[in-house]
């Protein structure tokens, strides 16, 4: 079930005509300009005020307050301090300075904790993931202005390439999605199609990597995930979700909606007008190439952002702000948990 705090899903006439398909590579907004200028519509300004406690007249004052905290408490932290970047963290934590500061530190510490994902992170290194069709972003947002990240884990097989490459592609996608201010206010929706997922995918990555993924999405990245729609899930999904659920906060767990093969159920959450034909929509066939081009065209942008020296070099973080993957002594417990859950997967299968 969706949480009561979730935004209500608006519906449209199922006979609505398809939206005009945007040109590949030109449909997603470009990166923000170096000098901040608010791009929100009056409706989104009102929404940000109501939902995020963002007051336009205090916006730059709040950004400066967070900037001052970083400079005072972590002067060695190599982080961007421009208005547009810091606003992402303030909006993600409803302009609570302390929580925004913790999110910023978690954002950087996650890179150190998972070098397999963050080292040399740029789109060209995940082209094989994009070519496989593991993920894309639908070209039209839903009626609440939320872009839809479409994942197809069944496209990946364990002997194709390391699971971490999928996480690299997801992270780069989130980094691109969070650039427009609209996404920072509206959040995103995830659509995960589990067609073709078998035991080999279900038992990979296991609790240790699942915990890291959830830690990044919940506690280390400035994005609001408003709903996770699961479709075509196999029987063993109960075992998969059993691996993930212990690490989810209650609010996030309530935002998972399981549809099975019921497209009508999916359409009650994501309107047909923005869904491709593969999911009973009217927005043409699922196109993997447009988002792939968007990411690959951003290669230099990501090199500047991620292929630089360790931003935490010389920084001492409080224990409360360490990325969860760095906590000592967790590996053995996670492996014990995995052995128990693996038996559940075999039983479900």
pLDDT per residue over 303-323, tens digit each?
988 866 665 566 666 655 444
Task: Write out pLDDT tens, residues 172-204.
Answer: 999 999 999 999 999 999 999 999 887 766 666
Two structure tokens written together for 14: 């199922």
Identify the DSSP state of 174: H
pLDDT at 2 > cutoff 50? no
pLDDT at 9 > cutoff 60? no
pLDDT at 221 > cutoff 50? yes
Annotate 258-327 with DSSP letters as a single string: E-TT-HHHHHTTS-GGGS-GGGT-SS-S--SHHHHHHHHTTHHHHHHHHSSS-TTTT----GGGS-GGG-
Domains of the chain, earliest start first: 42-113 (1.10.8), 117-307 (3.40.525.10)
The answer to whether the beta carbons of residues 204 and 233 sit under 8 Å apart is no
User: Residue ranges of the alpha helices (H) in 179-245?
Assistant: 181-186, 199-202, 207-219, 237-244
pLDDT of residue 277: 96
Averaged pLDDT, 60-84: 95
156-180 core/surface letters (b: 16 or more CB in 10 A; e: else): beeeeeebbbbbbbbbbbbbbbbbb
pLDDT of residue 315: 63
Task: Write out pLDDT tens, residues 259-277.
Answer: 999 999 999 999 999 999 9
Give the range with max mean pLDDT: 8-12, 210-214, 278-282: 278-282
How far is residue 151 from each of residues 67, 145, 264, 277, 280, measured CA to CA in Å? 35, 19, 19, 16, 17
pLDDT at 218 > cutoff 80? yes
pLDDT at 144 > cutoff 50? yes
Statement: the pTM of the whole predicted model exceeds 0.95:
no
Two structure tokens written together for 113: 């904790």
pLDDT at 329 > cutoff 70? no
Confidence category of residue 26, pLDDT binned at 50, 70, 90: low
Going by C-alpha positions, the residue among 319, 309, 332, 326 that lies closest to residue 79 is: 309
pLDDT of residue 151: 96
Q: How many degrees, rounded to 5, is the angle at CA 204 between CA 201 and CA 206?
A: 145
């Amino acid at each position: 079930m969706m949480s009561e705090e979730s935004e209500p899903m608006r519906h449209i006439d199922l006979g609505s005509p398809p939206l005009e398909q945007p040109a590949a590579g030109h449909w997603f907004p470009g990166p923000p300009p170096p000098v901040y200028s608010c791009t929100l519509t009056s409706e989104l300004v009102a929404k940000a005020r109501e939902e995020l406690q963002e007051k336009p007249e205090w916006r730059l004052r709040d950004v400066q307050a967070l900037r001052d905290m970083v400079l005072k408490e972590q002067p060695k932290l190599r982080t961007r301090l421009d208005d547009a970047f810091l606003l992402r963290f303030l909006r993600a934590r409803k302009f609570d300075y302390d929580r925004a500061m913790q999110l910023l530190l978690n954002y950087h510490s996650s890179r150190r904790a998972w070098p397999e994902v963050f080292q040399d992170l740029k789109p060209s290194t995940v082209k094989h993931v994009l070519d496989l069709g593991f993920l894309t972003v639908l070209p039209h947002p839903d009626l609440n202005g939320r872009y839809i990240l479409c994942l197809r884990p069944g496209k990946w097989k364990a002997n194709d390439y390391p699971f971490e490459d999928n996480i690299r592609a997801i992270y780069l996608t989130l980094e691109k999605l969070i650039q427009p201010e609209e996404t920072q206010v509206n959040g995103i929706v995830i659509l995960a199609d589990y067609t073709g997922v078998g035991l080999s995918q279900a038992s990979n990555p296991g609790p240790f990597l699942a915990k890291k993924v959830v830690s990044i999405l919940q506690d280390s990245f400035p994005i609001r995930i408003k709903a996770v729609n699961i479709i075509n899930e196999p029987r063993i999904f109960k075992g998969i979700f059993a691996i993930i659920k212990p690490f989810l906060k209650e609010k996030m767990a309530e935002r998972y909606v399981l549809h099975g093969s019921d497209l009508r159920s999916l359409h009650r959450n994501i309107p047909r007008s923005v869904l491709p034909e593969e999911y009973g929509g009217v927005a043409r066939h699922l196109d993997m190439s447009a988002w792939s081009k968007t990411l690959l065209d951003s290669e230099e942008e990501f090199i500047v952002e991620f292929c630089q020296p360790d931003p935490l070099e010389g920084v001492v973080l409080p224990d409360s702000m360490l990325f969860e993957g760095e906590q000592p002594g967790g590996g053995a417990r996670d492996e014990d948990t995995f052995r128990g859950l693996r038996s559940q997967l075999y039983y479900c299968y």
